[in-house]
């Protein structure tokens, strides 16, 4: 993911394209070698001509190529696989990490997927099929099956020799897993503890009582939570017999945390989950993800219209009331959006839980009451000026009621959703605002009808 340094990336892309145009291969390779692979990936993403980007990618040496590939966007990766020769693609796929491979295959369109599977070795295909067998967004999909494990009855010296040998194959070895003969997880031990312990001691002297792990079918959001909670660099993933299957590493988790937050943002904005960068999303996809809520909410808004129709007599009698309609309705929605945003985020970070509702309910009542009084006083002056004392009273009272109502609605809706095991983020600003509108209109005109003494509707 390229972040915040787009100008630099554009600059880099220009430099690369100049070398390419001049066919100065030596300079291009030297330049590539001086750049971190993440920056190469970011620069390639800024090359608009697909053919040029492929040509530049081809100039990378065999060590950088799989690494750069791992940092490209799924769309770019798919395009690249189609443009490369079978031999090039085969080399590439054989050299990327298994978890990156799973992530890639997950996102490839069907036609490309079939082609790509043919390029993999039988063993790799077996492994990929096993990984893709875990539920979507589960720990199993996220994990890499490569890890270093040692036995409890080995000496530290034996263990270190084994670790050296394994890590030459390129695995992560900050954390070493201790498993029994059946592969069952006993503990995760930091590499530095192996280095600090006298070589003749046994591995089981390093084992603590508390081995933290997650089952392969665990939701990835829960994996993120636990890794953050326990400050883990690598989370062991086990099957139901506690056999170690793989590990989830911290860099995967940071990406997942970002994706999950983006999903929450999109839901809160009343947009379906994109699962794609806004940059790469086609207008047709964006249309589909947005039209649902918009149309649904229009039909919900028929109730707002109906409420207005019901109070037509009141409106016709005191047309000045319409002047305050947008203000009151908007305030109800705004207070609701504030309360729901606070609640959705606090639920997502675990700051509060649905079980806290009673405590939160009382607090929200106090806060929204104070807000309602402030807003009521502010708006009574406008009411007084525009419509006289009676209208001022109607407007102030209505404002107080709609702000409290909107806030309580915004606070309760996410909690109710969480209680029913639904995603609290579904309580989007548009949804809360629209529901608050209906109540707001009804409250406003009811109060107006009562105080201004208009013949009650239908009466």
Site for a copy of itself in 101-160 (CB under 8 A): 160
Among 14, 164, 205, 416, which residue sits at the site for a copy of itself (rule: CB under 8 A)? 164
Binding mask 260-299 for a copy of itself (x = CB under 8 A): -xx-xxx-xxxx--x--xxx---x--xx--xx-xxx-xxx
The least CB distance from residue 90 to a copy of itself, in Å, is: 26
User: Tokens 């001086």 sit at which residue?
Assistant: 34
CB atoms within 10 A of CB 447: 20
Closest CB 131 distance from a copy of itself, rounded Å: 21
415 contributes a contact to a copy of itself by CB under 8 A: no
CB 251, min distance to a copy of itself, A: 4
Q: How far is the CB of 82 from a copy of itself (least distance, A)?
A: 23
Q: In the complex with a copy of itself, which residue's Cβ is closer, 22 or 295?
A: 295
* Cα–Cα distance for residue pair 433/410, rounded to 1 Å: 9
Which of the residues 84 through 103 are near a copy of itself (CB under 8 A)?
none
Of 88 and 157, the one with the shorter C-beta distance to a copy of itself is: 157
Which tokens go with 12?
Answer: 């880099």
The answer to whether 207 contacts a copy of itself (rule: CB under 8 A) is: no
In the block, residue with structure tokens 């039909």: 299
End-to-end Cα spacing for the chain: 64
Tell me whether residue 117 or residue 250 sits nearer to a copy of itself (CB atom): 250
When binding is defined by CB under 8 A, the residue of 22, 94, 355, 416 that contacts a copy of itself is 355
228 is a site residue for a copy of itself (CB under 8 A): yes
Q: Given the complex with a copy of itself, which of 89 and 372 has the nearer CB atom?
A: 372
Min separation Cβ 202 and a copy of itself, Å: 19
Single residue of 22, 50, 378, 450 touching a copy of itself by CB under 8 A: 378
Provide CB contacts within 8 A for 34, sequence distance 6+.
none
Window contacting a copy of itself (CB under 8 A); options: 17-25, 124-132, 134-142, 336-344: 336-344
Q: Report the nearest approach of a copy of itself to the CB of residue 246 (Å).
A: 18
Residues 338-341: contacts with CB under 8 Å, at least 24 apart: 338/407, 338/410, 339/364, 339/368, 339/406, 339/407, 339/408, 339/409, 339/410, 339/411, 340/410, 340/411, 340/413, 340/414, 340/427, 340/428, 340/429, 340/432, 341/268, 341/410, 341/429
Shortest distance in whole angstroms from residue 358 CB to a copy of itself: 13
Give the residue among 196, 188, 195 at the shortest CA–CA distance from 233: 188
* 322 contacts a copy of itself (rule: CB under 8 A): yes
Part in contact with a copy of itself (CB under 8 A); list of ranges 51-59, 87-95, 110-118, 379-387: 379-387
Work out which of 54, 125, 308, 317 binds a copy of itself, going by CB under 8 A. 308
Residues in region 45-74 near a copy of itself by CB under 8 A: none
Smallest distance from the beta carbon of 24 to a copy of itself, in angstroms?
A: 20
Q: Which is nearer to a copy of itself, 89 or 100 (CB)?
A: 100
Q: Which residues lie across from 246 on neighbouring strands?
A: 237
> How far is residue 325's CA from residue 66's CA, in Å, rounded to a whole number?
60
Distance CA 148, CA 162 (A): 8
3-class secondary structure per residue, 422-434: CCHHHCCHHHHHH
Q: Does 375 bind a copy of itself (CB under 8 A)?
A: yes
Q: Report how many residues bind a copy of itself under the rule CB under 8 A.
A: 125
The least distance separating a copy of itself from the CB of residue 45, rounded to whole angstroms, comes to: 11
Tokens matching residue 98? 């298994």
Among 129, 132, 370, 422, binds a copy of itself (CB under 8 A): 370
The residue assigned the tokens 């969480």 is 418
Residue 419 makes contact with a copy of itself by CB under 8 A: no
* Contacts of a copy of itself in 167-196 (CB under 8 A): 167-168, 173-174, 191-192, 195-196
Mark the segment that binds a copy of itself (CB under 8 A) among 50-58, 84-92, 124-132, 342-350: 342-350
Neighbouring-strand partners of residue 150: 178
Report yes or no: 304 and 437 within 8 Å, Cβ to Cβ.
yes
Report yes or no: 395 and 320 within 8 Å, Cβ to Cβ.
Answer: no
CA distance 234 to 251: 9
Pick the binder of a copy of itself from 156, 186, 203, 371 (CB under 8 A): 371
**In terms of CB distance, is 53 or 441 closer to a copy of itself?**
441
Of 264, 211, 210, the closest CA to residue 235 belongs to 211
* Local structure of 177: helix, strand or coil: strand
Count of CA atoms in the C-beta half-sphere (13 A) of 391: 19
Pair of tokens at residue 54: 């492929």
Q: Which is nearer to a copy of itself, 131 or 335 (CB)?
A: 335
Report the C-alpha dihedral over residues 267, 271, 276, 278, rounded to 10 degrees: -120
């Amino acid at each position: 993911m390229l972040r915040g340094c787009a100008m630099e990336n554009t600059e880099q892309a220009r430099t690369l394209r100049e070398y390419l145009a001049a066919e100065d291969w030596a300079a291009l390779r030297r330049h590539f070698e001086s750049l971190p692979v993440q920056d190469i990936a970011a620069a390639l993403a800024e090359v608009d001509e697909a053919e040029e980007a492929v040509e530049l990618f081809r100039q990378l040496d065999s060590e950088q190529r799989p690494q750069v590939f791992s940092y490209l966007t799924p769309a770019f990766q798919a395009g690249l696989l189609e443009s490369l020769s079978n031999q090039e693609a085969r080399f590439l796929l054989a050299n990327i990490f298994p978890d990156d491979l799973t992530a890639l295959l997950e996102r490839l369109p069907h036609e490309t997927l079939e082609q790509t599977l043919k390029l993999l070795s039988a063993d790799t295909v077996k492994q990929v099929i096993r990984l893709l067998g875990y539920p979507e967004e589960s720990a199993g999909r996220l994990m890499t099956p490569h890890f270093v494990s040692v036995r409890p009855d080995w000496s530290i010296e034996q263990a270190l020799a084994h670790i050296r040998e394994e890590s030459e194959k390129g695995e992560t070895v900050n954390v070493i897993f201790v498993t029994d003969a059946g592969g069952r997880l006993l503990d995760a031990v930091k590499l530095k503890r192996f280095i600090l312990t006298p070589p003749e001691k046994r591995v089981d002297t390093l084992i603590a009582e508390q081995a933290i792990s997650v089952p392969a079918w665990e939701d990835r959001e829960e994996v993120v939570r636990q890794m953050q909670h326990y400050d883990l660099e690598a989370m062991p993933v086990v099957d139901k017999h506690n056999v170690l299957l793989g590990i989830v590493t911290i860099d995967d988790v940071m990406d997942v945390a970002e994706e999950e937050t983006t999903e929450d943002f999109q839901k809160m904005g009343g947009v379906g989950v994109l699962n794609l960068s806004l940059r790469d999303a086609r207008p047709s996809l964006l249309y589909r993800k947005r039209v649902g809520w918009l149309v649904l909410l229009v039909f919900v808004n028929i109730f707002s219209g109906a409420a207005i129709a019901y109070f037509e007599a009141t409106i016709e009698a005191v047309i000045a009331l319409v002047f305050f309609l947008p203000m009151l309705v908007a305030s109800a929605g705004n207070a609701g959006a504030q309360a729901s945003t606070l609640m959705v985020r606090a639920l997502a970070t675990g700051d509060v839980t649905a079980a806290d509702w009673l405590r939160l309910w009382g607090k929200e009542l106090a806060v929204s009451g104070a807000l309602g009084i402030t807003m009521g006083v502010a708006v009574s002056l406008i009411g007084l000026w525009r419509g006289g004392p009676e209208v001022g009273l109607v407007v102030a009272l209505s404002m107080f009621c709609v702000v409290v109502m909107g806030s309580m609605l915004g606070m309760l809706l996410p909690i109710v959703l969480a209680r029913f095991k639904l995603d609290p983020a579904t309580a989007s600003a548009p949804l809360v605002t629209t529901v608050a509108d209906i109540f707001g209109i009804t409250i406003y005109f009811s109060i107006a009808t009562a105080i201004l003494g208009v013949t009650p509707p239908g009466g």
